[in-house]
Amino acid sequence: MSAGTGCTPLARATDLVLRYDGHLAVDRSSLELPAGQVTAIIGPNGSGKSTLLHALAGLHEVAAGRLEVLGTSAARAQSQIAYVMQHVAVPEGVPITVREVVAMGRYPTLGWWRRPRREDRERVRAALAALEIEDLAARHLGELSGGQRQRVYVAQALAQDHVAIFLDEPLTGLDMVSARAIDRIIHSEHEAGHSVVLTTHDLEEARAADQVVLMAGRVVAWGRPEEVLTPTHLTSAYGLGALHGDAQGPFLDDPHAHDPARDDGISPGAPAG
């Protein structure tokens, strides 16, 4: 069986609450995400997508409720997760090359002297090749465009030992070529049996995922796309504007959308209450 699959879910949350100091970011939410699948977290701006992803990556403290990742606490699971953040904190002013940034993905497995072994160099080479950025390897990170940098950060994540990869809005603002390169990685990670969790504003991207989590300050619904992306749930998350296509996309004008008359509003994965 490939890594990341099996009975242990990728994540299980029970009445999870996430805060920033006094500010409530995600209200009581429960969900279960199977391992080895692609999960898309979708919702309006400020709905808690990045905060939830951060918490799943063990980088945001749980204010209340329970959160288990890969059968343990999110903090303990952290070393098995490669995380590509929306705003990466790699210092862009210092003259660090693309190869060095990607090689940082190997740091957790290197010894005290951080001397790369042949296997480490091979992993860096393979990650550069997978994102088709070998020609950028000697360039300084600070000289690259936003889309090129995004590919570098995904390559860094790939170079890391991991069973799950988390991507915060990986395709936002990318041209077709960069978007396709990252899309290919999502598929190859899935094929390798790794869990992929990404945040997105794109309904089509969410529909293409195995699992969807719909957010609006809490988890509105979770489960398979056809159970979650219903007119009832989308209206609940985005407001009535979604009906007329003036939210973040003409969701309900989609001929493939469910017939509201057949939608009881209760997804198998919809949280109770």
Nearer to ligand ATP, 47 or 230 (CB): 47
| Spatial contact of 93 and 78, defined as CB atoms under 8 Å apart | no
Joined tokens for residue 2 = 């490939």
Spatial separation of the C-alpha atoms in residues 20 and 84, rounded to whole Å: 21
Q: E-strand spans in 128-228?
A: 164-167, 195-200, 211-215, 219-223
Residue 39 binds ligand ATP, judged by CB under 6 A? no
Spatial separation of the C-alpha atoms in residues 28 and 13, rounded to whole Å: 9
Which of 47, 148, 160, 230: binder of ligand ATP (CB under 6 A)? 47
Residue 23 binds ligand ATP, judged by CB under 6 A? yes
Which backbone phi and psi does 149 adopt, to 5 degrees?
Answer: -60, -40
Residue 239 binds ligand ATP, judged by CB under 6 A? no
Which backbone phi and psi does 4 adopt, to 5 degrees?
Answer: 90, -15
The window from 38-46, 152-160, 174-182, 235-243 that contacts ligand ATP (CB under 6 A) reads 38-46
Q: Which amino acid is at 151?
A: R
Which of 4, 9, 36, 48: binder of ligand ATP (CB under 6 A)? 48
Nearer to ligand ATP, 44 or 223 (CB): 44
The window from 39-47, 71-79, 99-107, 249-257 that contacts ligand ATP (CB under 6 A) reads 39-47
Residue 43 binds ligand ATP, judged by CB under 6 A? yes
Instruction: Give contact residues for ligand ATP (rule: CB under 6 A).
Output: 20, 23, 25, 43, 45-51
